[in-house]
Amino acid sequence: MPRVAVVTGGTAGIGLATAQLFAARGWSVAVIARDETRLRQAERMLTEHGRPVLAISADVADSVAMDAAAARIEVELGPIRAWVNNAMSTVVSPADRISPKEYRRVTETTYLSQVYGTLAALRHMKPRNRGAIIQVSSGLGIRAAPLQAAYCGAKFAVSGFTDAVRCELIHDRVDVSLSVVYLPAVNTPQFGWSRTRTGRGQYAPDPVFDPRLCAEAILYAVEHPQREVWVGRTSLMMAAAQAIAPGLADRKAASMWDAQLEDTEKPDRTGNLFEPAPGEAAVDGRFSSRTRTSPHEFWTSRERDLLVAGVAGAAILGLAGAAALARAPRRLLRRL
């Protein structure tokens, strides 16, 4: 039986890189996005790998459309084994200059799209007691940053929703995995598509990572289910800073205001918030000269747990040794 993967936002950047990797590894792939031109381009790219491909035009913020897409995929490609919730949008702006309508739309495309995708996938996966759902998140879903209030709020919500659903699956003994993949700055076309309201273009602060690294981490989480995966050292550092010293992390994040913006003034753009932005189906953005291409720079929650257990074990052994030394006879201590 063919393995079937679904990728939302699968016509550019991380989504396209992930769809290509699935196809190259022998999966049948469905991509869901809005822009018909990019869908057809992505479809041609993916069929080169020799596996069945389905490109569906739908707004991921429309729950009915997501359910219909899932049903169509099941009929035309087969049972869905993996569902990757990757679509997003943002407004790069001070929080008090983002309108209620814009907050709502970012929440719909970045958070509710993952809710609707997860629910659509579960309707088919739960009866079969099999499948993997991946939530593509960001280091900004752990450690928020200025100029990204709408996006950060939506990504934080993804983690809460996912944790709650995961608990329900454990309670019901359903063997469907739910993983969150936290990403760093990545060289994708999205930096040219976001809505801006700063008088300057959006910039990817160093270090910038390759979308293909993110795709490798996503596929790894499908084939080796993990609770969480952190891609790139910066996402791991953001998680550690937020856990250990959140006040210091606030001040560090505040200093990143200008690092997110281009030096020269540019007219604000409407971006792809309500309508698709023009552009080709492409994996890479405009920061290729600064992109790190390490193929294995990601860490899993299992590795974190093993590290914590090791540190805790070493601490316990150290305390036990100190206690034993304190109880030793004084004549022995003099010899030491």
Q: What is the tens place of the pLDDT at every residue in 178-217?
A: 999 999 999 999 999 999 999 999 999 999 999 999 999 9
pLDDT for 25 equals 97
Give the model confidence (pLDDT) of 57-95 as tens digits.
Answer: 999 999 999 999 999 999 999 999 999 999 999 999 999
Cβ burial of 314 (10 Å; 0-12, 13-18, 19+) is exposed
Give the model confidence (pLDDT) of 142-187 as tens digits.
Answer: 999 999 999 999 999 999 999 999 999 999 999 999 999 999 999 9
Question: Which range is least confidently modeled, 40-54, 264-278, 309-323?
Answer: 309-323
Query: Do 285 and 323 have their domain in common?
Result: no
pLDDT for 318 equals 56
Query: Do 285 and 311 have their domain in common?
Result: no
- pLDDT at 306 exceeding the cut of 60: no
DSSP three-state, residue 35:
coil
Q: If pLDDT is split at 50, 70 and 90, which confidence band does 308 have? A: very low
Query: Do 308 and 292 have their domain in common?
Result: no
Q: What is the CATH number of the domain that holds 111?
A: 3.40.50.720
Cβ neighbours around 163 below 10 Å, total: 12
pLDDT for 256 equals 93
Q: Please confirm, yes or no, whether 151 is among the known catalytic residues.
A: yes
Query: Do 245 and 317 have their domain in common?
Result: no
The token pair at 300 is 């899993």
Q: Of 320 and 202, which is predicted with more confidence?
A: 202
Task: Compute the average pLDDT of residues 223-239.
Answer: 94
Query: Do 219 and 315 have their domain in common?
Result: no
Q: If pLDDT is split at 50, 70 and 90, which confidence band does 336 have? A: very low
pLDDT for 311 equals 41
pLDDT for 333 equals 43
Question: Could you tell me the residue range of the domain that residue 311 belongs to?
Answer: 301-336
Query: Do 305 and 283 have their domain in common?
Result: no
Task: Compute the average pLDDT of residues 125-136.
Answer: 98
Q: If pLDDT is split at 50, 70 and 90, which confidence band does 328 have? A: low
Give how many domains the chain has, as a whole number: 2
Q: What is the pTM of this model?
A: 0.89
Query: Do 82 and 227 have their domain in common?
Result: yes
Task: Compute the average pLDDT of residues 279-304.
Answer: 85
Q: Is the peptide bond before 207 cis (omega within 30 degrees of 0)?
A: yes
d(C-alpha 183, C-alpha 280), whole Å: 23
Integer CA distances (angstroms), 318 to 68, 302, 314, 325, 327, in order: 58, 24, 6, 10, 14
pLDDT for 4 equals 98
Please pick, among 151, 182, 203, 220, the residue that the annotation labels catalytic.
Answer: 151
Output the average pLDDT for the chain.
91
Query: Do 281 and 310 have their domain in common?
Result: no
Q: If pLDDT is split at 50, 70 and 90, which confidence band does 300 have? A: confident
Query: Do 265 and 206 have their domain in common?
Result: yes
Query: Do 186 and 305 have their domain in common?
Result: no
Query: Do 261 and 334 have their domain in common?
Result: no
Query: Do 194 and 327 have their domain in common?
Result: no
